Amino acid sequence: MRYDHQKPELIKVADLVGALQELVEENFVEVLVQGELSNVSRPGSGHLYFTLKDKSAQIRCAMFRGQARALSFAPENGIEVICRGRVSVYPQRGDLQLIVDGMEPEGVGSLQQAFEEVRSRLEVEGLFARERKKPLPSFPQVIGVVTSGTGAAFQDICQILQRRAVGVTLLLRSVRVQGKEAATEIAAGIADLNRQSDVDVIIVGRGGGSKEDLWAFNEEIVARAIATSAIPVVSAVGHETDVTIADLVADLRAPTPSAAAELVVQNRLELERHLDQLVLRLGRQMRWQTSLLESRLSGLEKRLKSPTVRLQQQKDELDRLFQRLCLEMRRLCENRSHRLNMLNSRLMALSPTAVLRRGYAIVQHGDNVIFSSTEVNRNDDLQVTLAQGQLKVKVTEKM
């Protein structure tokens, strides 16, 4: 048997490394790699260099200054992390390396994904809508608290209320605030306080902790318990920078449990100062009103006259008006009399009697007035009405 061996092509190191670089960078544009940090180094340039390893392998990594500054934690040797980046080849040494764009502690990535899923689903349902938020009572008498009875959060709430609202009643529903059963207990505590007829407001929360510690307040069962609560709910989970699903659903979010206690009660000193200001404003307003009324009364007193004088003035005015009425009536009667005479003269001038007095006569044949000789015949008897008297005539000739 015979074998033909083909001689490989001779290439330069730079060409080989370049080919490897092109092959790697085109096929590993974005990867998520989990591993343990080691050889962590941050020189003066601000870039971050480290090795990511597990039990079987390791890879060198580089994170440039801009991305390194955005990290929310301090990378240290031994920390398990998840890195997001692209694979590259460093030509000067021919090393394979991971250029890291983002990094977070192991576990945070999956938790953040779960957080976003729950948040998106509840937001679509409208559980975060502003119009769902219930106002807090101005002066609550009974405050329900859902938290750990042995935790610092409850002690902080008690201290604030003792200092600011003596006489307010606290109803504690002690629950676990982290762990597998925490979410179920928190939801049950909220539901239990809703069955109490005298609870005015509910505080739900705990002190600070890691994302894993606070996770119970991101559970959907807790969010829905808050959303269905008929009593206003104040969420006070962790520190000011921690935001949970419970914070988004609650009627009001407080940055800390202490702040929650301050928000649900009115500070009596502040209320007294407010009342003092109102009293001062009321006093000034009353003095101003009194001064105004006194000024108006003084003006009315100056304008006030004796009833006798007033009556005499009215009598004089009545006499004047009566005289005007008489003159007007006399003038009106004269005008009407003159017009009547004119109309009577015109009427008399148009009267048939006046026409007859001017020498005219009215000729009738029976009941008909004769206007033309063609209306009568010879020997017809006619009646002639004169200005004075009447004549009976017979037609002897027509002309």
The closest alpha carbon to 135, from 46, 201, 199, 192, belongs to: 201
- Helix (H/G/I), strand (E/B), else coil: 351: coil
Within a domain: residue 7?
no
Query: Would you state the pLDDT for residue 230?
Result: 95
Q: Is the pLDDT of residue 395 over 90?
A: no
Predicted confidence at residue 81, as pLDDT, reads 87
At 391, give phi and psi (nearest 5°).
Answer: -130, 145
Are 343 and 372 members of one domain?
Answer: no
pLDDT value of position 269: 58
pTM of the model: 0.48
Supply 13's token pair. 């190191």
pLDDT recorded at residue 10: 81
pLDDT in tens, 323-336: 999 999 999 998 98
Residues 6+ apart with CB under 8 A from 232: 134, 135, 136, 137, 200, 201, 202, 251, 252
pLDDT for 248-260, tens place per residue?
999 999 989 999 9
| Spatial contact of 67 and 86, defined as CB atoms under 8 Å apart | no
The answer to whether residues 37 and 77 touch, using CB atoms and an 8 Å cutoff, is yes
Asked if the structure places residue 116 within a domain, the reply is no
Does residue 114 belong to any structural domain of this protein?
no
Answer whether residue 353 shows pLDDT above 90. no
Q: What is the pLDDT of residue 117?
A: 84
What's the structural domain count of the chain?
5
Kindly state whether residues 247 and 339 are assigned to the same domain: no
159 in any annotated domain: yes
Model confidence at 267, pLDDT cuts 50, 70, 90, reads low
Q: How many CB atoms lie within 10 A of CB 39?
A: 13
What pLDDT score does 5 carry?
56
- Out of 1-10, 161-170, 199-208, 350-359, pick the least confident: 1-10
Question: In the predicted model, what is the mean pLDDT of residues 263-288?
Answer: 82
pLDDT at position 55 is 86
Where are the strands (E) in 238-292, listed by range?
252-253
Higher-confidence position of 230 and 118: 230
CA–CA dist 138, 58 (Å, integer) = 61
Q: Is residue 252 located within the same domain as residue 288? A: no
Structure token pair of residue 11: 């290439």
- Residue-number span of the structural domain to which 255 is assigned: 127-264
One domain for residues 83 and 176: no
Model pLDDT, residue 200:
93
Assess if residue 187 is contained within a domain.
yes
Residue 151 belongs to a domain with what CATH number?
3.40.50.261
Same domain, 274 and 343: no
Q: How far is CA 380 from CA 147, 361, 369, 374, 391, in A?
A: 138, 18, 14, 12, 14
What is residue 174's predicted lDDT score, i.e. its pLDDT?
93
Residues 311 and 388 in one domain: no
Residue-wise pLDDT tens digits, 141-159: 899 999 999 988 999 999 9
**For residue 110, what pLDDT is reported?**
62
Q: What is the mean pLDDT of residues 330-356?
A: 82
Residues 257 and 275 in one domain: no
Question: Bigger pLDDT: 210 or 54?
Answer: 54
Give pLDDT, residue 109: 57
pLDDT of residue 126: 93
pLDDT at 138 over 90: no
pLDDT of 6 reads: 64
Q: What is the pLDDT of residue 272?
A: 67
As a whole number, mean pLDDT of residues 43-53 equals 91
Helix/strand/coil (H/E/C) assignment for every residue in 1-68: CCCCCCCCCCCCHHHHHHHHHHHHHHHCCCEEEEEEEEEEECCCCCCEEEEEECCCCEEEEEECHHHH
Residues 157 and 163 sit within 8 Å (Cβ to Cβ):
no
The pLDDT value recorded for residue 7 is 67
Instruction: Determine how β-strand 368-369 pairs with β-strand 362-365.
Output: antiparallel
Least confident residue range of 94-98, 158-162, 348-352, 388-392: 348-352
Residue 280 has pLDDT above 80, yes or no: yes
Does any domain span residue 4? Answer: no
pLDDT of residue 73: 75
User: Are 318 and 376 members of one domain?
Assistant: no
Identify which of 219, 250, 222 has the alpha carbon closest to the alpha carbon of residue 132: 250
Residues 173 and 237 in one domain: yes
Are 86 and 157 contained in the same domain?
no
Structure tokens at 117: 């899923």
Pairing of strands 48-53, 169-174: unpaired
Structural tokens at position 202: 């509910």
Evaluate whether residue 340 is within a structural domain.
Answer: yes
Condensed to tens digits (0 to 9), the pLDDT of residues 211-248 reads 778 889 999 999 999 999 999 999 999 777 778 999 99
Q: Does a structural domain hold residue 115?
A: no
Residues 179 and 256 in one domain: yes
Regarding whether 386 and 344 lie in a shared domain, the answer is no
In the structure, what pLDDT confidence band is assigned to residue 184 with cuts at 50, 70 and 90? very high
The predicted pLDDT at position 1 comes to 45
Average predicted confidence (pLDDT) for the chain:
85
Rounded average pLDDT over 81-94 = 86
CATH of the domain at 72: 2.40.50.140
